[in-house]
Amino acid sequence: MAGPRNISVSEASRPVLPRHAKLKYDETRKVWVILAPERVLAPDEIAVEVLQLCNGERNVGDVADQLAAKYAAPREAILADVIAMLQDLADKGFLTEIREKTS
Amino acid sequence: MSDVTIPPSDSLAVLEKQRSTAETFGIPLAVLLEITHRCPLQCPYCSNPVELDRSAKELTTGEWKKVLSELAEIGVLQVHFSGGEPTARKDLVELVKHASDAGLYTNLITSAVLLTREKLGDLADAGLCHVQISFQGIEEGLADRVAGYKGGHRKKLEVAKWTRELDLPLTVNAVMHRQNLHQLPDIIQMALDLDADRLEVANVQYYGWALKNRAALMPTVAQLDECTRLVEEARERLKGRLTIDYVVPDYYALRPKKCMGGWGRQFFNISPAGKVLPCHAAESITGLAFESVRSNHSIAWIWQNSEAFNRYRGTGWMKEPCKSCEFREIDFGGCRCQAFALTGDAANTDPACALSPLHETIFKQAEREAEGETNRFLYRNFAGGTLESENDA
């Protein structure tokens, strides 16, 4: 079955694009796109970078660490932006997350 | 992040770069492939033309593969395998595999009744990205009657379950009309129970077969208001859980819909026989000649240069009241097929528009039909339609 619904993105989440949402570079239009059922999303550069880091292993905190280091920017501000962007994607149904086995 | 969608009756979404599309008519992001008109169902609102393509005219496996490669090459990103019933073609798995290998995102738009668990598994292995299953109602009595196919509803529920077991995303497509709108709350619940990601609540659009069945299908204004209320309530309640796309019947609107996002601007489809069309109903407009993928023109050339695509592109073809209308680039005069079907001239204003001299008459007629008791269907088939038995209606 697919990932859980109603995801609430937090620093500890380990988000990943679900099988039906594909991040792809569109060679014809020279833009990144996310292909999803009946929709094409146009992520901005930062969103693309975040999504490329979201491999289901890193958590959101790790992603913020990497971006903060790369851009020498305040981690808290980056973390807030990353969470907002991923939550927007989750609300549209284009994000799933890997959860720890609890059993 | 921006995402753009157009009504599901138009069966695709596009990324329309503001302004640039109008100037360049860039290649659409998604293309509808009607790979066959054969279908075991007989839905009276079928979006296929009344004149169906016989199987002998269908493109061969090799021809469809060539089309798929060409589409990927010119920048199309998504293809919808539709029909008719696409699973009626024995080569569907092969075509999906070919599309996936070419880098295309693949959707299957199906009635589901011909699928086996094994076949669906093969499609998933071939790279299929998404499955859309049509439902005609909430229970088999009404649903099977609308589809003209016994046992169909039960099979659809089963295939929907397999779809999710195979971890494929599922869209439930519910075509709504007077005789099933009362089931909408249960249809929304059914979509949730089936673990669908998306629900299309698509009110019938009245061309072709549906126009022939208008008296049996047209909802009342009260039904439609209730439908809109239910959809809005469900969208709010199910945010993040179920995406709901909604299409209203334009007869009751004051402004026409921007059909196909405007003729030849964002959409084309390919018919079973290989015609490249600005809309799946376009062949109903007599006097327009459509180029085929079997011609010696490329698909990109047909899109850019063919007479049929350019005839109603932009605003130059318009007559009054469209010509001087402030909304002419908002709705592009509505639907050309509807204008042709109801007025005899595709260049007239779509009568769905309140500015059309025919709007009042047609609105009144729809209202009268909605209040009528004519529930008998004319079922869709290759013989030009079969009237439902009086006892069943």
Better-scored residue on pLDDT, A100 or B316: B316
pLDDT, tens digit, 9 for 90 and up, residues B232-272: 999 999 987 898 999 888 888 888 989 988 999 999 999 99
Tell me which chain B residues have a C-beta less than 8 angstroms from the C-beta of A33. Answer: 15, 29, 77
Instruction: Report all structural domains of chain A as residue ranges with CATH numbers, in order of start.
Output: 15-97 (1.10.10.1150)
Better-scored residue on pLDDT, B10 or B369: B369
- Band the pLDDT of B11: cuts 50, 70, 90: very low
Chain B residue with minimum CA distance to A92:
B240
Write down the pLDDT at residue A98: 75
pLDDT, tens digit, 9 for 90 and up, residues B324-383: 999 999 999 999 999 999 999 999 999 999 999 999 998 899 999 999 889 999 999 999
Residue contact A42–B165, C-beta within 8 A: no
pLDDT, tens digit, 9 for 90 and up, residues B263-310: 999 999 999 999 999 998 999 998 899 999 999 999 999 999 999 999
Classify burial at B281, counting beta carbons within 10 Å of its beta carbon; exposed 0-12, middle 13-18, buried 19 or more. Answer: buried
Q: Are B267 and B278 in contact (CB under 8 A)?
A: yes
Write down the pLDDT at residue B392: 84
Write down the pLDDT at residue B192: 97
Write down the pLDDT at residue A48: 93
Residue contact B243–A93, C-beta within 8 A: yes
Residue contact A47–B197, C-beta within 8 A: no
Better-scored residue on pLDDT, B121 or B1: B121
Task: State whether residue A85 sits within 8 Å of chain B by CB.
Answer: yes
Mean of per-residue pLDDT scores for chain B: 91
Chain A residue with minimum CA distance to B128:
A20
Chain A residue with minimum CA distance to B172:
A37
Residue among B248, B254, B218 nearest B372 (CA): B218
Termini Cα distance of chain A: 18
Task: State whether residue A68 sits within 8 Å of chain B by CB.
Answer: no
- Band the pLDDT of A99: cuts 50, 70, 90: low
